[in-house]
Each structure stands twice: as C-alpha cells, then as structure tokens.
Amino acid sequence: MRILFLHLSDLHIQSSTAFDKFHIEKMLDSLRMTKDFDHMVMIFSGDIAQSGEAIQYDTARRIVATVFRLCKSKKIYSNRIDVLCVPGNHDVLHGPDPRTAQELNKIFSSKSYSSRVQSELQMQDNFFAFAQKNGCFSCPSLFDRKMLNYGGFKIEVNLINSAAFSLRNDEDKGLHYLSQEHINTLNTPTQADFVVSVMHHAPDWFIDDQKDQLEKARWSKSSLLYLGHEHRLGLKTVGYAEKTAAFVHAGGALCYSDDWTKSEFEFGVLDTDTFDYEYYSMRWNLEQNQYECVDKPKVLNLPRKPSVEKKLKVSGEFLSALKKDDGHTVAD
C-alpha cells in the first residue's frame, strides 16, 4: 500500500487573492511524478493565515475544497483526503496592540503559563474553526492526536500547537509552552504501526525542560516530522542519542502573502510494505510556468518504530550479578 503525504506550509493568506486555481492545478499535476497511490494526507504546518482573521480562513477553505475537487476531476486521486493542521504564530489574533517580548519574559519568569493557556487558545479561535472543519482539534487545545487507519495499517498523528505564547515577530525563542500532561500523552503508546508529528516551530522554541522532552519524544518516536516557520524547503535526518532517526520536513512557503511566484511545497510517498519513502521537493519555475523538482527525488528507507510499550530486556550480566552470592548459598 502507498500513502502520499502532501506538505503545504506557511501560506500566510492575507485575502481572497491568495486563491489561485491555476497554481493549485499545477501543484496537483506534479503529483503525477510518482506512481499511483492508495491514500492521501494533506498537511498544513502552520501560518495558514497572515493575521488569524476569519476571512483569511475562508480562502484557506476554498483552497482545500479545490484540492479535493480537482484531485477527482483530474483523476489524480478519488478517495477521501485526510487533512492535518496545526497553527503558527501568524494564526493568532494578536490584535492592534500585540504582546511584546518583555511581557512574554514576565510570564516565563513568574511561571504563570498554565493560568494563561485558555486566553492563549481564545486568540486562535478562527484557526480552530478551520481545523475542526477538517477533523482536527475537536476542542481548542495545545495538543491533538489523530489515528488514521488505512486497511489495518495504523498511523498515530501528533499535532502540537506551538503558536501559544508566541509573538508576531521572532523574539520568543525558548519561551513557548506545552503542558506536562500533553507531553505525557505524546509519549503514550497507541499500538500504531507508524508515527507522524506536525508542529509549526521546532522543539528548540520551547522552554528548556520541555525542549529536551519534546526532542526526545519527537526524534525517538516519530518517523516523519513536519515543520513550518523557517520558509526553507528541505529534508534532514535527526537522531536522539542512539535512537533511530526521524526525517524532518521543512516545507518552504506555498503562497507567502498571496504571492505564488516563489511557491514551494513538498510531498512524499510511503510504501507500507517496504517502508521506502519517496521524497519530492517542488519550486515554482516562473519562466516555465510550472513546478519543478529542486533536487532529484530521493528514496529513503524509514526506520520501523511502532508506537508500542517498550519491554525491558534482562541482560546476561545482570543475571550473573544476581546469582553471585559469596556469603550465602541461597543464590543456587
């Protein structure tokens, strides 16, 4: 079975002019570069809107609906498309008088994050309305988990809201927050065959203790991690200590501030039998009026990391030490 993951990041939609059927059509045409696939997942890794306003998500909904419709009419893919989305700092309604770095540092110093979570989530109301229409974040939260089941192949999806306690401008590194309860949930096994995580900011944007826990959980548990924010297209391999690696996607910017002339996106196709993963990074060629591969398509073999309880292994050295009893004969 083959599953296609279409990663669209950092749209920064400002108005209805961000809707461009021609570019959407060309984007979907590029999916023909790979062989047929059985299932399709569309991933938005934050900064869908430019300023978190409701009208901007109206345009985002039109883009999603057009992808659904064109996939069928162009005979690219005719089944259900699952949508995964998380917010970025531009999906927050910061208002006319946005919070400053000094104010955020006061929250950090006073350790008052937990008492302010609800007010942070209220600033993302328009994002959550968009997310709920697409089956994500059934209630406003810092974390959501979805389970996808394709013919018995189960995928655990972790959606991490890194937009809370963010600023409109990048003066908040090391100050983002996720509750310990959500980190514990993140580490809870689900019996899934495969784990995918999506977040806008990388773990190093969180406060130190949470940064370390997030890195350990993400790199050791996930096989694929989709990030936004950096507006940089590419794929890299990251490992934690001696754990098997995770492949980290940075998705570029699809239509930054309604401009598709520098559009970038990426997609990958997972073969669930071999765990081979075909990766394509795409950029708009203004002269040729089409998307082209930035680099040659890559084929990677992903590590198998099912989301199961880790079992203790008793070593021979431990058994030998347990039996050693110089003073008594009970060990025998």
- Model pLDDT, residue 240: 60
Q: What is the DSSP letter of 176?
A: B
| pLDDT of 321 | 77
Q: What is the pLDDT of residue 323?
A: 75
> Model confidence at 246, in pLDDT bands (50, 70, 90)?
confident
Which of 7-11, 42-46, 79-83, 295-299 is predicted with the least confidence, judged by mean pLDDT?
Answer: 295-299
- DSSP 8-state symbol, 206: B
For residues 242 and 318, the model is more confident at: 318
Select from 262, 274, 322 the least CA-distant residue to 153. 274
Dump pLDDT digits (tens) for 123-150: 999 999 999 999 999 999 999 999 999 9
pLDDT, position 254 = 96
3-state secondary structure of 150: strand
Contact in structure between 46 and 229 (CB atoms under 8 Å): yes
pLDDT (0 to 100) of residue 241: 56
Binning the chain into helix, strand and coil, the percentages to the nearest 5 are: 30, 25, 40
Cβ atoms of residues 93 and 127 within 8 Å: no
pLDDT at 265: 97
Q: Confidence class of residue 332 from pLDDT cuts 50, 70 and 90?
A: low
Binning pLDDT at 50, 70 and 90, where does residue 217 land?
Answer: confident
Residue among 142, 299, 180, 162 at smallest CA distance from 226 = 162
- Average pLDDT on 203-213 reads 91
pLDDT of 33 above 80: yes
Task: Calculate mean pLDDT across residues 85-112.
Answer: 93
pLDDT, average across residues 270-275: 97
Q: How confident is the model at residue 261 (pLDDT cuts 50, 70, 90)?
A: very high
C-alpha angle 57-58-62 in degrees, rounded to nearest 5 = 110
pLDDT band at 14 (very low <50, low <70, confident <90, very high): very high
pLDDT (0 to 100) of residue 286: 93
pLDDT at position 285, please? 96
**pLDDT tier for residue 242 given thresholds of 50, 70 and 90:** low
Helix extents (H) in 79-136: 101-110, 113-122, 125-133
Q: 195 and 158 in contact (C-beta within 8 Å)? A: yes
pTM of the model: 0.91
Task: Give the pair of three-digit tokens for residue 318.
Answer: 């431990």
Whether the pLDDT of residue 263 is over 80: the answer is yes
Please give the sequence-ordered ranges of beta strands (E in DSSP) within 72-172, or none if there are none.
Answer: 81-86, 143-150, 153-160
Q: What does the pLDDT read at residue 170? A: 78
Burial of 73 per CB tally in 10 Å (0-12, 13-18, 19+):
exposed
Question: In the chain, what percentage of residues exceed pLDDT 70?
Answer: 95
| Beta-carbon count within 10 A of 5 CB | 24
